[in-house]
Amino acid sequence: KRRSRHPGRRPKFDKDLYRERNRVERAISRLKQFRRIATRYEKRAWNYHAFVLIGAIVVWVKHLSDTP
């Protein structure tokens, strides 16, 4: 009989939580495709935040144009 490397009960897997976390990680990945957001050239937080919003709008509009 084979023994587990880590004995004990498996951690509970929440399918809905995983789905939401995956959605957030993909959204962050799409935003980081913009070089200015990925490297953060701006010194001021509000300026960086503005570019993140612009990037989010671009991603959102692109998504709207792709959907039928």
Q: What percent of the chain has pLDDT over 70?
A: 93
Residue 30: CB partners within 8 Å, gap ≥ 6?
Answer: 59
- pLDDT of 7: 74
Indicate the SS3 state at residue 46.
helix
pLDDT band at 1 (very low <50, low <70, confident <90, very high): low
Residue 27: CB partners within 8 Å, gap ≥ 6?
Answer: 59
- pLDDT of 23: 93
* CA–CA gap between residue 27 and residue 32 (Å, rounded): 9
Q: Do you know the residue count of the chain?
A: 68
* CA–CA gap between residue 64 and residue 48 (Å, rounded): 24
